[in-house]
């Protein structure tokens, strides 16, 4: 374990805005986490930093896990995976093994642990639905515990790990995939069209998902962003307009694509300083020139929220965690 103090940490988040933390701990084991009495509070785990915006300097301690991230096969379809493994590495490995269930999550940036915290999802699949159980470290009690899927209270881009505000660190998770004989999940958007006549093997679906992402989302290697900046709002029938795309949640609420609302406000490409609305997927705010400041991003966020509110009386809620 190493501890650095008053350290530049902007590079730990994919947005790439500058920020300092009072301390940064690089840790490997649960025992390391038991030895943090001296470091400034609050403690905050960072995974891949792909859903995180530093809104200024952080007065607490960031916890970054280092060391090899491994997956162990427990049975034909079950794996025990270290939480700091990149989610996409896991997706690639199980697709290659011919297993289904994770191929639609291909290309989502960040670690498995981060994906569980926010129940990351794409193309009709969610990380939480693969979970059997997870081993957590409780920062409040210093104990480890194993919890099942029900305990996690997974919901749209949410889990108990998220609502309890960083109390728990995910150490590892057991995930259950589906056998090769299971049906492909290709009903979302243009996935089936992208596949064309190809047989929807897990690897073919993975390639189609990656191609779709590439065509809409900024390349994380060259343009900083944190993926979708806002959640898709859930609204009552009174706020719907005839032309508005919607997904009926069956409980009187409708999920409306935030990208559509932002698009309708004519905000594609709108910029504040170095921060800009990504023209191909306006749900994404990018660090266009690599020099955006946190203030630029926050001002652009406010511009978008106000414009959508004025026009549709719908208040967008950020999906990206603000630290």
Residues in the chain: 323
- 259 Cβ neighbours under 8 A, 6+ residues apart: 281, 282, 283
152 vs 284, beta carbon nearer ligand EPU? 284
15 binds ligand EPU (CB under 6 A): no
Residue 78 known to be catalytic: no
Residue 283, Cβ density class (10 Å: 0-12 exposed, 13-18 middle, ≥19 buried): buried
- 299 Cβ neighbours under 8 A, 6+ residues apart: 272, 273, 275
227 binds ligand EPU (CB under 6 A): yes
Q: Cα(66)–Cα(163) distance, rounded to whole angstroms? A: 25
Residues 235 to 274: which contact ligand EPU by CB under 6 A?
Answer: 245, 257, 259-260, 263
Q: Which residue is nearest to ligand EPU (CB)?
A: 227
Residue 287, Cβ density class (10 Å: 0-12 exposed, 13-18 middle, ≥19 buried): buried
Residue 157 known to be catalytic: yes
The correct pick among 26, 44, 149, 231 for binding ligand EPU (CB under 6 A) is 231
77 vs 232, beta carbon nearer ligand EPU? 232
The correct pick among 228, 267, 274, 316 for binding ligand EPU (CB under 6 A) is 228
Q: Which of 225, 228, 246, 301 is catalytic?
A: 228
The correct pick among 82, 319, 321, 323 for binding ligand EPU (CB under 6 A) is 319
Residues 281 to 300: which contact ligand EPU by CB under 6 A?
Answer: 281-283
Residues 96 to 125: which contact ligand EPU by CB under 6 A?
Answer: 122-123
Residue 319 known to be catalytic: yes
Backbone Cα Rg of the chain: 20
Q: Cα(174)–Cα(9) distance, rounded to whole angstroms? A: 31
Residue 310, Cβ density class (10 Å: 0-12 exposed, 13-18 middle, ≥19 buried): exposed
Catalytic residues: 157, 228, 319
Residues of this chain that bind ligand EPU (CB under 6 A)? 122-123, 189, 216, 227-228, 231-232, 245, 257, 259-260, 263, 281-283, 319
């Amino acid at each position: 374990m190493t501890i650095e103090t008053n350290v530049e940490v902007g590079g730990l988040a994919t947005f790439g805005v500058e920020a300092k933390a009072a301390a940064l701990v690089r840790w490997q084991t649960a025992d390391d986490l038991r030895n943090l009495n001296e470091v400034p509070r609050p403690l905050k785990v960072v995974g891949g930093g792909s859903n995180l915006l530093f809104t200024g300097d952080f007065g607490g301690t960031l916890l970054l896990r280092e060391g090899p991230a491994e997956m162990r096969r427990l049975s034909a379809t079950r794996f025990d995976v270290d939480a700091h493994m990149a989610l996409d590495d896991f997706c690639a490995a199980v697709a290659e093994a011919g297993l289904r269930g994770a191929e639609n999550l291909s290309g989502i940036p960040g670690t498995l642990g981060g994906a569980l915290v926010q129940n990351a999802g794409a193309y009709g699949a969610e990380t939480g639905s693969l979970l059997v159980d997870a081993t957590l470290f409780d920062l409040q009690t210093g104990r480890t515990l194993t919890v099942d899927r029900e305990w996690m209270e997974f919901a749209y881009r949410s889990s108990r790990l998220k609502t309890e505000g960083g109390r728990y660190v995910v150490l590892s998770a057991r995930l259950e995939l589906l056998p090769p004989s299971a049906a492909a999940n290709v009903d979302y958007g243009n996935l089936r069209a992208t596949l064309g006549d190809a047989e929807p093997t897990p690897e073919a679906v993975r390639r189609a998902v990656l191609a779709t992402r590439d065509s809409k989302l900024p390349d994380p290697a060259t343009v900083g962003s944190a993926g979708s900046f806002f959640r898709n709002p859930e609204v009552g029938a009174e706020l719907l307009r005839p032309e508005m795309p919607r997904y009926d949640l069956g409980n009187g609420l409708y999920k409306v694509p935030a990208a559509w609302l932002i698009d309708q406000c004519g905000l594609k490409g709108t910029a504040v300083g170095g921060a800009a609305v990504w023209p191909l997927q306006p749900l994404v705010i990018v660090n266009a020139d690599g020099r955006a400041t946190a203030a630029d991003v926050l001002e652009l966020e406010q511009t978008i929220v106000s414009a959508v509110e004025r026009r549709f009386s719908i208040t967008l809620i950020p999906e990206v965690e603000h630290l």
